[in-house]
Amino acid sequence: MFDFSELQLKLSEVREWLVKEYKGVRTGRATPSFLDSIQVESYGSRVPLNQVANVGVEDARTLKISPWDASTLKDIEKAITNADLGVGVLNDGAGIRISFPELTSERRESLIKIAKDKLESARQSVRGAREDAWNKIQEAEKAGEISEDEKFKAKDDLQKKIDEENTALEEMFAKKQEEINN
């Protein structure tokens, strides 16, 4: 039998990538994970926002950022502003409030398009992983490691795994689309 562990690893990496990317696609709700991609210049190096401040939900449309060191407040504000996330940034001296404006129908459509583009990138990665696995199956048959029957069985198993992964990615997109529309 053919070993699909390398394929499974690649597919899980694609899924993790899409989850991370979808966290960055803003919905109408305030979630701390929205700021996960923000890197803050602090003490001479760039570090993730969550390593220099606490990020909490103040209400459905507002995040409150409380820096652990007040001297980093300006750097945090600058990093968020430069990220151009389409949110309001207010420095109140003790922390920063991020307010999420109401999504317009135009903005919802553009966010769904972004989510669809990320889904397509994930699908391309899955196709690449399928191609790599198929090539390895064919090489194994040529090398005499597996029989022709085992090759076709492995091909069927490969396609089942790819179909399952594509279904999971589609479900993730549908869930994100639902979040954006609500």
Report the pLDDT value the prediction gives residue 86, as an integer from 0 to 100.
Answer: 75
Report the pLDDT value the prediction gives residue 108, as an integer from 0 to 100.
Answer: 85
Q: Which of helix, strand or coil describes residue 31?
A: coil
Beta bridge partners of 66: 54
Q: Which fold has domain 29-99?
A: Gyrase A; domain 2 (3.30.1360)
Residues with Cβ within 8 Å of 163's Cβ and at least 6 positions away in sequence, in order, are: none
**Stretch 97-125: mean pLDDT, rounded?**
89
* Dist. CA 14–CA 11, nearest whole Å: 5
| Res. 7 pLDDT band, cuts 50 70 90 | very high
Q: Under a CB-based contact definition with an 8 Å cutoff, are residues 23 and 111 in contact?
A: no
**Among residues of the chain, what percentage have pLDDT more than 70?**
98
Report the pLDDT value the prediction gives residue 152, as an integer from 0 to 100.
Answer: 93
Report the pLDDT value the prediction gives residue 30, as an integer from 0 to 100.
Answer: 76
Token pair 């990317």 is found at: 21
CATH of domain 5-22+104-181: 1.10.132.20
In this structure, the number of other CB atoms found within 10 A of the CB of residue 11 comes to 24
| Res. 28 pLDDT band, cuts 50 70 90 | low
> In the chain, where does the domain assigned CATH 1.10.132.20 lie?
5-22+104-181
| H or E element in which residue 82 lies | helix 73-83
Token pair 């600058």 is found at: 78
**Among residues of the chain, what percentage have pLDDT more than 90?**
46
**Stretch 5-16: mean pLDDT, rounded?**
94
Report the pLDDT value the prediction gives residue 121, as an integer from 0 to 100.
Answer: 95
* Dist. CA 31–CA 60, nearest whole Å: 8
C-alpha distances out from residue 181 to 19, 167, 177, Å = 18, 21, 6
Token pair 């404006």 is found at: 101
Least confident segment among 31-45, 116-130, 146-160, 165-179: 31-45
Q: Of 86, 115, 114, give the one whose Cα is nearest residue 101.
A: 86
